[in-house]
Amino acid sequence: DLLSDADDVHHWGFLRAVFHDNYVPNEMLEPSWRRPHLLHCMQVAENVAPRLRATLESEEGRAGLSRFLCIYWTASQGGKFLSPWTRHIDSSHWYFVQFELNGVRKLIQFDIVGGSFLVDGSPCAR
């Protein structure tokens, strides 16, 4: 099944985050060979979001977000999770977790559709 386990979730998260990191919004304003592909990627992300949210209801699915965090944000090595991943109450796409790194608490937020990854509310250096 599509997006049904932790491996699928962590690969999806990485794909969306890398896409977000390399996406230039101005590309949507100008006709180019890339524009239809970018639109298609965004539409696919919206289409699979309900299935992904269903997978993230399970502990195994949320473990995929933790794997994603450790692979995507290399600075997280040696840190520990202080809470489980939780869906933000005001958004169906945003998930967050409390994380401790070098004795400092961090709020990690991730948009599973758009690919935005935030540490304490700001984009991070990888």
Span 52-67, pLDDT tens digits: 999 999 999 999 999 9
**C-alpha distances in Å from residue 5, one per residue of 55, 71, 123, 125:** 7, 17, 27, 28
| pTM of the predicted model as reported, rounded to 2 decimal places | 0.90
Residue 36 parent element (H or E): helix 35-55
82 close to 98: Cβ distance less than 8 angstroms? yes
Task: Read off the pLDDT of residues 20-54 as tens digits, 9 standing for 90 and up.
Answer: 998 877 777 778 888 888 889 889 999 999 999 99
